[in-house]
Structure 1
Amino acid sequence: MSAAQHSSFVRPNQLVGRRSLLKGLGIGAVALAGAPLLAACGGGSSSSSNSLTFGSGSSDDVPKRAYEAVIAAFKSKTGNNVTANVVPHNDFQNKINTYLQGSPDDAFTWFAGYRMQYYAQKGLLASIDDVWDKIGGNFSDALKKASTGADGKKYLVPNYNYPWGFFYRKSLWQAKGYAEPKTFDELKALCATMKKDGLIPIGFADKDGWPAMGTFDYINMRLNGFQFHTDLCAHKESWDQKKVSDVFDTWKALLPYQDPAALGQTWQDAAGALAAKKTGMYLLGSFLTQQFTDPAILADIEFLPFPSIAVEGQESVEAPIDGLMLSKKGGQNQAARDFVNFIGTPEGQNAYYKVDTSNLPTAKGADTSSYSTLSKKLSETIANAKNLSQFFDRDALPAMASNVMIPALQSFIKDGSVDVKNLESQAKTLYAAQ
């Protein structure tokens, strides 16, 4: 997700009273720091050979408990202790640059793609080729490639991935007689019908800046193809061209159908509206289902791949890969290497999935026997895709995603206007500085 490169930190003593810094988890020797800002986590490599620190941006309840389960399983298997520092998701991303240059944890949660390669090139990560020598057989070639830096070394162990698409409640669609749209024209027609029926056709939330990137990515890939998406993110293609303008012009057709409160609500807010049947569908990643704690609602959720528009049908799927990496300091800690190795095994990923079923394990041999009908469909969607994109702010330069794209998309959502010449001017400056 998005990562504005802010450098300001809240001092730990300013946090006292807002939230206790340490909370017992009831899982052995693990301590969980719930500090609201990244400044409160970190501390570098543990001095003990059988302990490590783990920085996590998985702060929502379900993924937080899933990593607690992984840590407990790791401790049971190895006897190693893990001190986990959990930071609110957006704060973790927004502070990652300064975090890695300060006193980072040994291991930490992060993403595949350019966001991994960028910090590897800055010399802020430890390569883990030795770990991959042990677990490499557990992953597909696509996952291996996504975990590899520009220097050819491995820096990430994938834990899970999750497709983006439209999610909706089956019972609502059945009651209204809605059919799944296969094309963009069918999508627009369905939205018009939903609006007449008193629904907000497309749930939408962009208070945090990053969710709108998913819509941009899909329309761009459906209009211009996967390679153009990749090249635009790398600034091998210009922003000041008709292909980019066409993306926004096509998107304009959906603006009247998207939640008008988008800029003031989080993705969790929009998930609640979908659960309450106030919205007809919602474009987001499958982590959306973490919010549905009522089994009846979760069982009522269906997934719809983004409809085709022009060049490639539905061949490309936005399916970001999340996993674990080691900081430069953490690379000196064998316990930390053992920890990222563990998450690359079926055993480690099974421990995670038992708690968080919204994300799909990436390791071959992981237990899929408990997959729900929805999980099976999500898995098949990824397996059948010819191309997997990571997500704009993972495929692009961090500063381009955070400092340029977020305000541009939020402005577009507000009034339907965008200045592609300005986007290109800023892109030239930022990419030239790398």
Structure 2
Amino acid sequence: MKKSIIGVLLLASLLTVSACGNSSKEGKGSDDKVVELHSDKGEKKTMKNVIPIIKDQTGLTLKNVDTIDFSAYQTNIQQSLSSKKAPDLFTWWTGSQLNELVANDLVEDLTDVWPEFVKAGVSDEIKEGLSVDGKVYGSPLNILYNGVFYNKEIFTENNLEEPKTLDDFLAICEALKKKGITPIGLGNTWQSFVWPMALVGSMDPTLYDEWTAGKVGFDDPRLKKVFYLWADMLEKGYFTAQQQDQAKDFATGQVAMILNATNMVAGFTEDYGLVSGENIDIFVLPSQKADQKRTIFYEVAPILVAKNGQKKEEAIKVLTAYYDQEAQQAYADISGSAATTNVKFADAISKRLSEDAGDSENFNLKLRYYEQFTPEIVNLSIDEYWKIADKPTKEQVDKSLEEIQKQWEAVK
């Protein structure tokens, strides 16, 4: 009797172990079909309708792993990249932070698959911003284009039209100021770089490229000329005081214009009831001559493939499917942004700027200033630009640019 009971228990134990083993294998098999995208962007909502499309095309399930806290996310990724726990896919930043990962051989070279992304609709003009030493290491989660939002009602009431040249734009600022309307919202603590960047791109796009490539310094006479113009605009009262609530000031008509990215549209619609293309619209800051290309600045959150990732092949399949037009349209419908230029946006502003960005004959695409320099130079320059905003004189321009130049020479 005891032997019989023991035999039954032993058999039951073996069956349990066998079942656990099968369950483990099934779980592993299931995990093999899951590709994780780690991000600090909070993408679960925007990817909701994209995931089924990717699965239909690849048989793989994209799983979003969100870590909203920036510092925690950055630390977690950096600690895992050199281990076997490296993420399949993860979002990062361009510029010096991407360069650092490449220098330590932590991310996969995507140069060979980049043409497939371009064929799907990713703009080849953003390639440089995702590259290091001529090789592509990132692909876009989305691309946010920056333009000048303007209050259409204020423009109509004051018989103003969208500017065709930079002089036209300055004339609009002067006309608004004379009417007692503040032309431009300056923004909060980190946004002091926006207008210097925009004016350099408008007045001398080649200089912008040389500047951000480190070929000319912050004390270059041509650069100073642009900053003198910005200081003059500040002195004339074309901007609000620094560190204002830019979105609120614009949405409530306290200012006529702001320069920002198209992802602002959703907030204007949801929070203030503004209708894109009716109450508000957007234009690209013009060049000095009407027939010159205008410069659109973009910001991009790159998706990277970890060099030590266990599912590199699957990760690249997911990325390729992500740029399918159906997937991108699903993403655009929720987020108001996209990684490709061939989607149709519901709102007029996103549609217009996306089409402009795809028009390489009339527009330059350039990665924004914030991602172009090392963090210490960016942070120092932001502080110095605020000093110019507070005291807009040629003397302060010279002093601030020379201060940045010293630090830039020390770290480059």
Match of 1:13 in 2: none
Contact 1:165/1:283 (<8 A) preserved: yes
SS at match of 2:136: coil
The normalised TM-score by structure 1 is 0.73
The CA distance in 2 between the partners of 1:188 and 1:69, in whole Å, is 44
Residue deviations 1:244-299 (CA, integer Å, cap 9, x gap)? 22121110122222121x32x4xxx3122212112101111222213123464334
The CA distance in 2 between the partners of 1:133 and 1:187, in whole Å, is 38
Match of 1:80 in 2: 61
How far apart are residue 159 of structure 1 and its match?
Answer: 4.2
Match of 2:323 in 1: 344
Among 58, 61, 64, the alignment partner of 2:41 is 58
Match of 1:405 in 2: 381
Match of 1:362 in 2: 340
Contact 1:165/1:305 (<8 A) preserved: yes
Contact 2:181/2:254 (<8 A) preserved: yes
The CA distance in 1 between the partners of 2:387 and 2:289, in whole Å, is 26
Match of 1:377 in 2: 352
Match of 1:424 in 2: 405
Q: 1:66 to 1:47 in 2, by over 3 A?
A: same
* Residue 244 in structure 1 maps to residue 219 in structure 2: no
Q: 1:310 to 1:85 in 2, by over 3 A?
A: same
The CA distance in 2 between the partners of 1:353 and 1:231, in whole Å, is 34
Match of 2:193 in 1: 213
Contact 2:47/2:331 (<8 A) preserved: yes
The CA distance in 2 between the partners of 1:246 and 1:186, in whole Å, is 19
SS at match of 2:296: strand
Contact 2:60/2:318 (<8 A) preserved: no
Q: Based on CA coordinates, which of the two structures has the bigger radius of gyration? A: 2
Contact 1:206/1:212 (<8 A) preserved: yes
Among 149, 165, 179, the alignment partner of 1:197 is 179
Match of 1:101 in 2: 78
Aligned amino acid, residue 265 of structure 2: T
How far apart are residue 145 of structure 1 and its match?
Answer: 4.4
Residue deviations 1:294-353 (CA, integer Å, cap 9, x gap)? 464334221121133479844322133444222333364444333322322223212210
Q: 1:305 to 1:279 in 2, by over 3 A?
A: same
How far apart are residue 361 of structure 1 and its match?
Answer: 4.1
* Residue 271 in structure 1 maps to residue 250 in structure 2: no
Residue deviations 1:346-386 (CA, integer Å, cap 9, x gap)? 232122101122x34426xx443x55443342133221445
Q: 1:113 to 1:270 in 2, by over 3 A?
A: same
Contact 1:165/1:285 (<8 A) preserved: yes
Deviates further, 305-314 or 154-163: 305-314
Q: 1:307 to 1:203 in 2, by over 3 A?
A: same
Q: Structure 1: which 5+ runs fail to align?
A: 1-45
Superposed CA RMSD in Å reads 3.2
Q: 1:68 to 1:285 in 2, by over 3 A?
A: same
- Residue correspondences, number: 365
The normalised TM-score by structure 2 is 0.77
SS at match of 1:163: strand
Contact 2:38/2:65 (<8 A) preserved: yes
Match of 2:131 in 1: 148
The CA distance in 2 between the partners of 1:400 and 1:379, in whole Å, is 30
Q: 1:342 to 1:51 in 2, by over 3 A?
A: same
Contact 1:201/1:280 (<8 A) preserved: yes
The CA distance in 1 between the partners of 2:343 and 2:176, in whole Å, is 39
How far apart are residue 237 of structure 1 and its match?
Answer: 0.7
1:174-193 correspondence runs (5 A): 174-193=156-175
Contact 1:106/1:333 (<8 A) preserved: yes
Match of 2:31 in 1: 48
> Which has the larger helix fraction?
2
Among 259, 273, 289, the alignment partner of 2:240 is 259
How far apart are residue 427 of structure 1 and its match?
Answer: 0.8
Q: Structure 2: which 5+ runs fail to align?
A: 1-28, 82-86
SS at match of 1:251: helix
